[in-house]
Amino acid sequence: MHTDIVVLDKEGTHMHGRIPTDLSARVNDILKEGNVYLMKRFACKQSKPTYRAVDNPYMMQFTRFSTIDPVVGDEEDFPYCTYSLTSFLDIPMPGPHTPRFIDVIGRIVAVTDIIAVHSQHQAEPSDTRTVVLQDQS
């Protein structure tokens, strides 16, 4: 349906971007992780309320008029990656309205058996298990 990307500017500000399928097919061979691009003619709109790739109130919505052009030689001026540290105590409980994706570092202390979970949004049940982590600090 679309391609999701995370972009960074020189100051390290991160933003989620969504590229529609038709444009994605055209730029798939151009976009490479760690490279610098000049991106023009995209819409800046409110971020999705749930499952955000990064914590930013806005996102880039690319259109058929958007352009993505490589810029050579500026890679050292841009940060390579982005992250937001979250206190272990501030990790939200899983649920249907998760605000953003979170990677967690901790020690696994328990793993449940796989169970089938039925959702009103899926025709078939999905297998799931619970993993319990312990804060290492």
pLDDT in tens, 64-116: 899 999 998 888 888 888 877 777 777 777 666 666 666 667 788 999 999 99
The whole-chain average pLDDT of the chain stands at: 85
Per the structure block, which two tokens stand in for 109? 């202390």
Using CA atoms, how far apart are residues 2 and 19, in angstroms rounded to an integer? 6
110 Cβ contact list (under 8 Å, min separation 6): 130, 131, 132
11 Cβ contact list (under 8 Å, min separation 6): none
Question: Looking at the predicted structure, is the pLDDT value of residue 119 above 90?
Answer: no
Using CA atoms, how far apart are residues 70 and 106, in angstroms rounded to an integer? 38
Q: Where are the beta strands (DSSP E) in 21-89?
A: 36-40, 43-46, 58-61, 67-71
Higher confidence at residue 51 or residue 74? 74
CATH homologous superfamily of domain 2-77? Nucleic acid-binding proteins (2.40.50.140)
Query: Beta-carbon neighbour count of residue 86 at 10 Å?
Result: 14
Task: State residue 101's pLDDT score.
Answer: 67
List C-alpha distances in Å: 98 to 51, 88, 102, 123. 6, 16, 9, 22
Question: Taking the CA atoms of the chain, what radius of gyration do you get in angstroms?
Answer: 19
What are the start and end residues of each CATH 2.40.50.140 domain in the chain?
A: 2-77
Shortest CA distance to 54 belongs to which of 19, 92, 82? Answer: 82
Question: Looking at the predicted structure, is the pLDDT value of residue 40 above 90?
Answer: yes
